[in-house]
Amino acid sequence: LCPFEQRILNHNIFEVHEKLIEGMLRLATTKMGRNALRSLWYMDDRFIGYEESMRLLNETKPGFISNNTMAVAYRDHISLVKSNMGSAAVIELTPSWNSVGGHAAAWVREMRALIDEIEGDAHAKNIPISFYFEGMAPIMADIKQTMYASAPYYMGATIGLVVLFLTIISFRSAFIGVRLMATVAFSLAWVFGLVVILLQDIRISHSEGDGVHFIVPIVCVPVLVGLTLDYDLF
pLDDT score recorded for residue 54: 86
pLDDT of residue 2: 37
Report pTM: 0.75
Burial class (CB in 10 A: 0-12, 13-18, 19+), 78: buried
Predicted local distance difference test score (pLDDT) of residue 94: 83
Q: Which residues of the chain have pLDDT under 70?
A: 1-6, 34, 63-65, 205-210, 233-234
Rounded Cα–Cα distance for residues 105 and 115 (Å): 15
pLDDT in tens, 108-150: 999 999 999 999 999 999 988 889 999 888 998 899 889 989 8
pLDDT at res. 6: 63
* Phi and psi torsions of 47, nearest 5°: -75, 145
pLDDT tens per residue across span 73-99? 888 888 888 887 778 888 888 887 777
Residue 208: the pLDDT is 60
Residue 129, CA distances (Å) to 13, 114, 205 in order: 8, 15, 49
* Per-residue pLDDT at 132: 92
Q: What is the pLDDT of residue 50?
A: 87
In 3D, which of 155, 159, 165, 172 has the Cα closest to residue 229? 159
Under 8 Å between Cβ of 29 and 106:
yes
pLDDT at 210: 65
